[in-house]
Structure 1
Amino acid sequence: MRIASLTGLRGLAAVAVLLYHIPHSPAFQDYAIGLFSRAYLAVDLFFVLSGFVISIGYYERVVKRPSAASYGDFLLNRMARVWPLHFVVALVFLARILVNVSGDQAVALTPANIITNVLMIQSWGWGTQALAGNSWSVSTELVAYLLFPLIAILAFSRGVWLQVAGAVALLFLVAMFGHGSRGPLDVNDGNSVLPVLRCLAGFALGVTAFRVARHSLCARLLGGEHGFLGSCALLVLALLIPGGDVVAALCFPLLVIACYYDGRASRALLANPVVFHLGLISYSIYLWHPLVRDVFARVMGIAHRHGFSGFDWAFYAGTLIATWLVCWASYLLIEVPGHRAIKKLERRVVPRPPLPFQQAAE
């Protein structure tokens, strides 16, 4: 089940990360946009979205009817969704390091780094580095996938408030350690477990948000235009608080719930063809854009050395257009076929657990 507004929300979050990261290259530092100065928080929105959307698809099979078969089916589905692109991107970034595209490679090609990246466990706190910098968050989400049944069962139990309190405490813990590079929650250091804790906190809040969204009272409060616009306003106010990363992160579940109800305002902004398309290719945007940025920055530097100047805006625009084209192709040629290939293998090797309506019929 795909909620158009949630897909579009993911697309806007990916674009926010893109516009946040491009000026990190010295070549494009003049193109920094103040509106996106804290867009690293979009990663926390991804974590909340992940917990929420996964709960939509797997609550019945994993929480209400838990079994080893349903758990295995869930993990295979998640790996089919994220691993093929992660693997291809890791290989390309490995090649990038070998040919030194950006001129300054900080990741060492050690066996530990290579093996952990292939297995998607590079950011679990044992000091290994992500070959593709943004893949650290994909690695931490694997921990959330492994723990999803436990997180979901707690979210739908009487101890749900204990889980919420724990998630909020984790966010404050991550922020208070002072490891954030550009803000309290901008933590992705592979030498600690803080990135994993950051992910688990957001993911748990997303799963809990799905439980809350199923209640009629929540639908009255956050459904319709007032719910979506109100949650957006709360997020804007939170972002105005200096150092208020945790407050902003706690607004994300409200925004996700409001988008889940798919009202007219959220559909107009997030479910239109352009934003929905960006949502479909958001995973590719998130992983590929640093490489596209660095290639264009390198080409622009070469152009400057040969006296071709005054057209930096064209290189910036080219970065945006090329990112879109690369990511669209990546979605069509890597994500979709990779997912289908693993699912086809699963059907041959692992019997699919019966769906709830099939069990009811039996």
Structure 2
Amino acid sequence: MSEQARPRPSAPTGLIPSLVGIRGYLALIVVIVHLAPYAVAMVPATAGFFVPFWHHGYVVLDLFFVLSGFVISSGYARTFARWPGRATFGKFLWARLSRFYPVHLAVLAVMVAAVLVSRALGDEIPHGGNLTWDLLRQITLTSGWGGAHALTWNGPVWSLSAEWACYLVLPLLLPLVQRLRTPAACVIGYLVACAIPLVCYSFLGFDDGTITYEMPLPRAFGAFLAGATLFQLQSVGSRIPAALGRVTGPVVAVAFLSIVGIAALGHPSMLALPVVGLVVPALAQRHGAVDRFLSTRVSLLGGEYSVALFLVHVPWIIAASMLINPRTFPGSGWGVVGILLLVAGSFVLAWLAYVVVERPAQKWMRRLVKRAPGAPRKPVEERVEERVDVTSHGRSDAGK
């Protein structure tokens, strides 16, 4: 019996806890990537741990894009099957902004103030950027659209900017993906989507500048489209996602080993994208020990704080390194203390940013708009956040 002729299992819908929990661990890897040069400078003996993350951990951002494409598609596939109307599209964009924009603006405001104060004192904070074009691109979320000369101000925002570009063209992307009506077409579509960045950067170069600030959109669009195609693969009734879900642990292990193997051969780690992306549909099946681990209360909280951690850690590390460095923390013993302080400060600031800015601002922004006709009852991530509230605080914000 052909795969198309078999009964089609329904794709998992609603809350997928492990896809929330994994965000925190991916954000942690990003922190390690950016911490690496400071850690190695303070404690050279840690190079064996930090250097591989430093050079190859950037692939987690590609997994972030795949994850986003999958989750957004699962929540809005019907809404964007055709043009949803300005009201629904506007509400969708507003909901996405509410997730990260308030924290982004708060962190950016602190950075601008710090740069102005330091200049008044005759000093300069590294990577400050200018107060005109670079700052404008950060405010308008266009710093990750290419053509930049460097990562300025809050560097990691480039990826949120590139993802924002994906949101802006979502009414064009999802109808295109939904034209893939068979498992075979979806598999081909997934490989084509993964090929978009890999082929582009084969010509442009896989260097850090090209894939982060000079030309990052092929990377974002390709991986985001790959995630949307993986959700479509479930929607057409393919048994491939279910098969992946039965071996989630091995899928994660193979994804990791593919990065290691490709790096060992001297090739760009991004070439592992087609394998790494399969982690998302495997986890979406909600089976196995890895799924249970990523669905624990600690993992869910990590996923909830991931945006804040992502946005605060680089400004904190850059600022703190002016006081926490090999000169002020000499030797391996004090160097380890310095590394721990940099890590702890990132977590503390992320918690403060979440509690003081992100969560209150998100609730306020979403209360400003009413549910548009034809929109999903609630976006997937909003239902996720309510479930995390139940887990961590013993109550739900539903119905407020």
Q: TM-score, normalised by structure 1?
A: 0.85
Q: Which residue of 2 aligns with 1:17?
A: 30
- Show the counterpart of 1:273: 297
Following superposition, the deviation at residue 244 of structure 1 comes to: 4.3
Change (3 A) 1:61 1:93: same
Structure having the higher helix fraction is 1
The correspondence of residues 40-59 of structure 1 with structure 2, limited to 5 A, is 40-59=58-77
Question: Structure 2 vs 1, CA of residues 323 and 127 (structure 1 numbering), >3 Å: closer, same or farther?
Answer: closer
* 1:132-151 matches, cutoff 5 A: 132-151=154-173
Q: State how 1:165-314 maps to structure 2 within 5 Å.
A: 165-181=192-208, 187-189=211-213, 192=214, 194-214=215-235, 215-224=237-246, 226=247, 228-239=248-259, 240-242=261-263, 243-301=267-325, 304=328, 310-314=333-337
Residues 333, 63 of structure 1: CA spacing in aligned structure 2 closer, same or farther, 3 A cutoff?
Answer: farther
- What is the DSSP-based 3-state SS (H/G/I as helix, E as strand, rest coil) of the residue aligned with 1:123? coil
Shift of 1:98: 2.7
Aligned-partner Cα distance in 1 for 2:290–2:333? 40
Distance 1:170 1:40, change over 3 A: closer
Amino acid at match of 2:240: C
1:43 and 1:308, CA in 2 relative to 1: closer, same or farther beyond 3 A? closer
The residue aligned with 2:15 is: 2
2:319 is the alignment partner of 1:319: no
Q: Does structure 1 conserve the Cα–Cα contact (< 8 Å) formed by 2:42 and 2:325?
A: no
Count of residue pairs the alignment pairs up: 345
Counterpart residue identity of residue 165, structure 2: V
The Cα of 1:266 is off from its aligned counterpart by 2.2
2:102 is aligned with 1:84? yes
Q: 1:244 to 1:230 in 2, by over 3 A?
A: farther
Deviates more, 1:29-38 or 1:233-242: 29-38
Give the C-alpha shift of residue 202 in structure 1: 0.8
Q: Shift of the alpha carbon at 1:340?
A: 1.3
Q: Does residue 121 of structure 1 match 2:148?
A: no
> What corresponds to 2:177 in structure 1?
155
- Give the Cα separation in 2 of the matches to 1:291 and 1:14: 15
Spell out, residue by residue over 1:188-241, the C-alpha distance to the aligned partner (whole angstroms, 9 max, x if none).
Answer: 12xx3x2111111111001111111332412431122x1x12311321231121
Mark the CA change 1:216 to 1:177 in structure 2 (over 3 Å): closer, same or farther: closer
Aligned residue in 1 for 2:53: 36
Is the contact made by 2:197 and 2:218 (CA closer than 8 Å) also made in structure 1? yes
2:132 match: 111
Which residue of the partner structure matches residue 391 of structure 2? none
Whole-Å Cα distance in 2 between the matches of residues 230 and 112 of structure 1? Answer: 46
Unaligned runs of 5+ in 1: 358-362
Offset, 1:64: 5.9
Shift in Å at residue 313 of structure 1?
1.1
2:308 and 2:350 in contact (8 A); partners too: yes
Mapped contact 2:42–2:326 kept (Cα < 8 A): no
- Secondary structure of 1:291's aligned partner: helix
- Confirm or deny: 8 A CA contact 2:194 2:274 kept in the other structure: no
TM-score by length of 2: 0.78
307-316 vs 198-207, which moves further? 307-316
Give the superposition deviation at 1:299: 1.7
Aligned partners of 2:291 and 2:243: how far apart in 1?
18
